[in-house]
Protein backbone atom coordinates (compact mmCIF):
# COMPACT_ATOMS: atom_id res chain seq x y z
CA UNK A 1 0.00 0.00 0.00
CA UNK A 2 1.77 3.14 -1.22
CA UNK A 3 -0.96 5.75 -1.55
CA UNK A 4 -2.39 7.25 1.60
CA UNK A 5 -5.05 9.80 2.49
CA UNK A 6 -4.05 12.84 4.55
CA UNK A 7 -5.82 11.38 7.62
CA UNK A 8 -3.48 11.14 10.58
CA UNK A 9 -2.90 7.90 12.49
CA UNK A 10 -3.82 8.49 16.12
CA UNK A 11 -1.61 7.61 19.07
CA UNK A 12 -4.29 5.10 20.16
CA UNK A 13 -4.14 3.29 16.79
CA UNK A 14 -0.34 3.26 16.88
CA UNK A 15 -0.42 1.86 20.41
CA UNK A 16 -2.77 -0.93 19.31
CA UNK A 17 -0.35 -1.84 16.51
CA UNK A 18 2.63 -1.79 18.91
CA UNK A 19 0.71 -3.93 21.38
CA UNK A 20 0.32 -6.65 18.72
CA UNK A 21 4.03 -6.36 17.84
CA UNK A 22 4.82 -6.86 21.53
CA UNK A 23 3.35 -10.36 21.22
CA UNK A 24 5.48 -11.36 18.21
CA UNK A 25 7.64 -14.42 18.91
CA UNK A 26 11.41 -13.97 19.16
CA UNK A 27 14.35 -16.37 19.48
CA UNK A 28 14.69 -17.51 23.13
CA UNK A 29 11.81 -15.13 23.81
CA UNK A 30 14.57 -12.50 24.07
CA UNK A 31 12.17 -9.76 22.88
CA UNK A 32 15.03 -7.72 21.41
CA UNK A 33 12.95 -5.31 19.30
CA UNK A 34 12.59 -1.64 20.13
CA UNK A 35 10.53 0.76 18.07
CA UNK A 36 10.73 4.35 16.95
CA UNK A 37 7.51 5.90 15.73
CA UNK A 38 8.21 8.65 13.24
CA UNK A 39 5.58 11.25 12.45
CA UNK A 40 7.99 14.16 12.23
CA UNK A 41 8.29 15.13 8.51
CA UNK A 42 11.84 16.41 8.95
CA UNK A 43 13.01 13.17 10.50
CA UNK A 44 11.29 11.11 7.79
CA UNK A 45 12.90 13.36 5.15
CA UNK A 46 16.30 12.80 6.73
CA UNK A 47 15.92 9.04 6.14
CA UNK A 48 14.61 9.61 2.59
CA UNK A 49 17.62 11.84 1.86
CA UNK A 50 20.10 9.26 3.03
CA UNK A 51 18.27 6.55 1.06
CA UNK A 52 18.54 8.60 -2.13
CA UNK A 53 22.18 9.27 -1.27
CA UNK A 54 22.71 5.50 -1.05
CA UNK A 55 21.19 5.18 -4.56
CA UNK A 56 23.69 7.74 -5.84
CA UNK A 57 26.59 5.84 -4.24
CA UNK A 58 25.31 2.55 -5.67
CA UNK A 59 24.94 4.15 -9.11
CA UNK A 60 28.61 5.21 -8.93
CA UNK A 61 29.65 1.70 -7.87
CA UNK A 62 27.70 0.27 -10.82
CA UNK A 63 29.97 2.19 -13.18
CA UNK A 64 32.88 0.08 -11.89
CA UNK A 65 30.97 -3.20 -11.82
CA UNK A 66 33.33 -4.96 -14.27
CA UNK A 67 36.28 -4.19 -11.98
CA UNK A 68 34.32 -5.22 -8.91
CA UNK A 69 33.05 -8.50 -10.41
CA UNK A 70 35.68 -10.76 -8.75
CA UNK A 71 34.90 -9.30 -5.32
CA UNK A 72 31.10 -9.40 -5.24
CA UNK A 73 28.59 -12.26 -5.17
CA UNK A 74 27.02 -13.44 -8.43
CA UNK A 75 23.58 -12.15 -7.42
CA UNK A 76 24.92 -8.71 -6.45
CA UNK A 77 26.80 -8.53 -9.76
CA UNK A 78 23.60 -9.35 -11.65
CA UNK A 79 21.82 -6.50 -9.85
CA UNK A 80 24.69 -4.14 -10.68
CA UNK A 81 24.68 -5.25 -14.31
CA UNK A 82 20.94 -5.00 -14.80
CA UNK A 83 19.52 -2.26 -17.04
CA UNK A 84 16.31 -2.19 -15.03
CA UNK A 85 18.24 -1.50 -11.77
CA UNK A 86 20.01 1.41 -13.43
CA UNK A 87 16.84 2.82 -14.97
CA UNK A 88 14.73 2.32 -11.83
CA UNK A 89 17.32 3.97 -9.61
CA UNK A 90 17.81 6.88 -11.98
CA UNK A 91 14.05 7.37 -12.17
CA UNK A 92 13.73 7.46 -8.37
CA UNK A 93 16.63 9.91 -8.04
CA UNK A 94 15.07 12.25 -10.63
CA UNK A 95 11.55 12.04 -9.15
CA UNK A 96 12.88 12.69 -5.65
CA UNK A 97 14.79 15.73 -6.93
CA UNK A 98 11.53 17.08 -8.36
CA UNK A 99 9.86 16.83 -4.93
CA UNK A 100 8.11 13.46 -5.09
CA UNK A 101 8.44 11.29 -1.98
CA UNK A 102 9.45 8.10 -3.77
CA UNK A 103 10.76 6.58 -0.54
CA UNK A 104 7.96 6.96 2.05
CA UNK A 105 5.12 8.10 -0.26
CA UNK A 106 4.13 10.89 2.20
CA UNK A 107 2.98 8.30 4.72
CA UNK A 108 1.63 9.93 7.89
CA UNK A 109 3.59 7.53 10.12
CA UNK A 110 6.62 5.28 9.83
CA UNK A 111 7.70 2.59 12.30
CA UNK A 112 11.34 1.71 12.60
CA UNK A 113 12.50 -1.45 14.39
CA UNK A 114 15.94 -1.71 15.97
CA UNK A 115 17.58 -4.77 17.49
CA UNK A 116 20.99 -5.87 18.81
CA UNK A 117 23.48 -6.55 16.01
CA UNK A 118 23.64 -10.37 15.83
CA UNK A 119 24.79 -10.60 12.20
CA UNK A 120 22.41 -12.30 9.77
CA UNK A 121 20.08 -13.39 12.59
CA UNK A 122 19.36 -9.79 13.54
CA UNK A 123 16.70 -9.46 10.90
CA UNK A 124 14.54 -12.44 11.89
CA UNK A 125 12.86 -11.17 15.08
CA UNK A 126 12.45 -7.68 13.66
CA UNK A 127 10.87 -8.99 10.46
CA UNK A 128 8.39 -11.12 12.39
CA UNK A 129 7.50 -8.17 14.66
CA UNK A 130 7.10 -5.79 11.72
CA UNK A 131 4.90 -8.28 9.89
CA UNK A 132 2.70 -8.62 12.99
CA UNK A 133 2.44 -4.83 13.03
CA UNK A 134 1.51 -4.65 9.36
CA UNK A 135 -1.19 -7.27 9.76
CA UNK A 136 -2.53 -5.52 12.88
CA UNK A 137 -2.61 -2.27 10.90
CA UNK A 138 -4.55 -3.99 8.12
CA UNK A 139 -7.11 -5.21 10.68
CA UNK A 140 -7.59 -1.56 11.70
CA UNK A 141 -8.10 -0.47 8.09
CA UNK A 142 -4.59 1.02 7.89
CA UNK A 143 -2.29 0.26 4.94
CA UNK A 144 1.45 -0.32 5.18
CA UNK A 145 4.50 -1.05 3.07
CA UNK A 146 7.89 -2.56 3.84
CA UNK A 147 10.70 -0.06 3.32
CA UNK A 148 13.66 -2.20 2.25
CA UNK A 149 15.59 0.57 0.50
CA UNK A 150 15.34 2.87 3.52
CA UNK A 151 16.26 0.03 5.86
CA UNK A 152 19.40 -0.83 3.88
CA UNK A 153 20.49 2.81 3.89
CA UNK A 154 19.64 3.36 7.57
CA UNK A 155 20.72 0.07 9.09
CA UNK A 156 24.05 1.30 10.51
CA UNK A 157 23.95 4.99 9.63
CA UNK A 158 25.89 6.81 12.37
CA UNK A 159 24.26 10.21 11.86
CA UNK A 160 20.78 8.70 12.08
CA UNK A 161 21.66 6.64 15.16
CA UNK A 162 22.87 9.81 16.87
CA UNK A 163 19.77 11.79 15.88
CA UNK A 164 17.39 9.03 17.01
CA UNK A 165 19.40 8.14 20.15
CA UNK A 166 19.82 4.51 19.08
CA UNK A 167 22.57 2.94 21.23
CA UNK A 168 25.73 1.52 19.69
CA UNK A 169 25.69 -2.21 18.95
CA UNK A 170 22.17 -2.14 17.53
CA UNK A 171 20.87 -2.23 13.96
CA UNK A 172 17.86 -0.76 12.23
CA UNK A 173 16.36 -4.02 11.03
CA UNK A 174 12.90 -3.11 9.79
CA UNK A 175 11.05 -0.03 8.57
CA UNK A 176 7.45 0.22 7.39
CA UNK A 177 4.98 2.94 6.53
CA UNK A 178 1.46 3.35 7.88
CA UNK A 179 -1.39 5.29 6.34
CA UNK A 180 -5.09 5.12 5.57
CA UNK A 181 -5.39 3.72 2.03
CA UNK A 182 -6.41 6.08 -0.74
CA UNK A 183 -7.48 3.20 -2.98
CA UNK A 184 -9.34 -0.02 -2.55
CA UNK A 185 -7.59 -3.13 -3.83
CA UNK A 186 -9.76 -5.56 -5.74
CA UNK A 187 -7.17 -8.29 -6.13
CA UNK A 188 -3.74 -9.25 -4.83
CA UNK A 189 -0.62 -8.64 -6.93
CA UNK A 190 0.05 -11.72 -9.09
CA UNK A 191 2.05 -14.50 -7.44
CA UNK A 192 3.98 -17.34 -9.06
CA UNK A 193 2.85 -20.93 -8.55
CA UNK A 194 4.15 -22.39 -5.29
CA UNK A 195 7.54 -24.12 -5.48
CA UNK A 196 7.56 -26.89 -2.90
CA UNK A 197 9.36 -30.19 -2.60
CA UNK A 198 7.46 -32.82 -0.66
CA UNK A 199 9.24 -35.51 1.32
CA UNK A 200 6.43 -37.48 2.88
CA UNK A 201 8.00 -40.88 3.49
CA UNK A 202 6.50 -44.22 2.49
CA UNK A 203 2.85 -44.12 1.56
CA UNK A 204 0.94 -47.28 2.49
DSSP 24: S
Q: Answer yes or no whether residue 148 interacts with ligand FMN by CB under 6 A.
A: yes
Sheet containing 170-179, strands listed edge to edge, beginning at the edge strand earlier in sequence: 34-38, 109-116, 170-179, 143-146
CA–CA dist 52, 118 (Å, integer): 27
Region binding ligand FMN by CB under 6 A among candidate stretches 9-17, 36-44, 82-90, 143-151 = 143-151
Q: Answer yes or no whether residue 146 interacts with ligand FMN by CB under 6 A.
A: yes
In the complex with ligand FMN, which residue's Cβ is closer, 188 or 202?
188
Question: Which residue in the set 70, 120, 141, 189 belongs to the binding site for ligand FMN (CB under 6 A)?
Answer: 189
Question: Which residue in the set 52, 89, 142, 145 belongs to the binding site for ligand FMN (CB under 6 A)?
Answer: 145
Residues 149-178 that bind ligand FMN (CB under 6 A): 149
SS3 state of residue 6: coil
SS3 state of residue 180: coil
CB of 145 vs ligand FMN, minimal distance in Å: 5
SS3 state of residue 177: strand
In the complex with ligand FMN, which residue's Cβ is closer, 35 or 149?
149
Contact 30, 134 (CB under 8 A): no
Q: Answer yes or no whether residue 89 interacts with ligand FMN by CB under 6 A.
A: no
Amino acid sequence: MRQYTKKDISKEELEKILEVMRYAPSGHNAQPCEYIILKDREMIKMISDLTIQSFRSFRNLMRFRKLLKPFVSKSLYEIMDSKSTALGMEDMIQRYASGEDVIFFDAPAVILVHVPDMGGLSYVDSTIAATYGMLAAHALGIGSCWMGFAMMAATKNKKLFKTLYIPKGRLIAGIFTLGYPKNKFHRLPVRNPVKATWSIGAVS
